[in-house]
Amino acid sequence: MTSPFSTSTEPAETGPILTVRGELDVATAPRLRTGIGDLVLAAGQLLVVDLAGVTFCDSSGISALIAARNAAEAAEASIALVAVPARLTRTFALTGLSDFFPTYATAEEAIRQRQGGR
């Protein structure tokens, strides 16, 4: 059974939190790229991408996450991935992307780290 793909965005003090759910693959990655393109990021903000609900991610999905990082950098913002599923964490480690994406257990942890550990 496949999980329907969806995204939602909520504001946070440090920048948007983008929640991704379902299968992130060749069919849905373009929708994520569009959603990222619709975000308004300001210099110094943090884009948090919550992946807790991602049930599958292929190379197209990883490419869309790299595009999110590039969009954040272009806006002079930063990115943090949170609640990264174990399989995706392993893929990041095997491909050398684990150092490319800062990852945290929760959005709150990423935001707290961004704010200097307050």
Sheet holding 78-82, edge to edge: 6-12, 15-24, 46-57, 78-82, 103-104
Helix runs in 3-118, H state only: 29-38, 59-74, 86-95, 107-114
Domains of the chain with bracketed CATH: 6-114 (3.30.750.24)
55 within 8 A of 3, measured Cβ to Cβ: yes
Give per-residue pLDDT as tens, 47-58. 999 999 999 999
Handedness of CA 69, 72, 110, 11 (dihedral sign): negative
Cα–Cα distance measured from residue 67 to residue 2, given in angstroms and rounded to the nearest whole number:
24
Other residues' Cβ atoms within 10 Å of the Cβ of residue 34: 11
Residue 118, pLDDT above cutoff 70: no
Per-residue pLDDT of 25-72, as tens digits, reads 999 999 999 999 999 999 999 999 999 999 999 999 999 999 999 999
